[in-house]
Amino acid sequence: MAILNYLTALEAFKENGSITLLDVKQMSYQDLNDFFEDLKYWKVYGGNDIAKLGQKY
């Protein structure tokens, strides 16, 4: 099981549509914060288009 960082978590979420709780447990607090902030931004401004995840509009 590889340790995820912010960027690999975003890629995993784009591919599968989810990440596991074990993956979340392995991430640092800063990476978790960045990941969840990107998810929030994407849900508000990205129109639920998975291709726009991780982009700033």
pLDDT tens-digit map of 4-57:
788 899 999 989 989 999 989 999 999 999 999 999 988 888 887 887 787 765
How high is the pLDDT of residue 2?
58
pTM of the model: 0.80
Residues 4 and 23 sit within 8 Å (Cβ to Cβ): yes
Q: How does residue 1 score in pLDDT terms, banded at 50, 70 and 90? A: very low
Environment class of 17 (CB within 10 Å of its CB; exposed 0-12, middle 13-18, buried 19+)? exposed
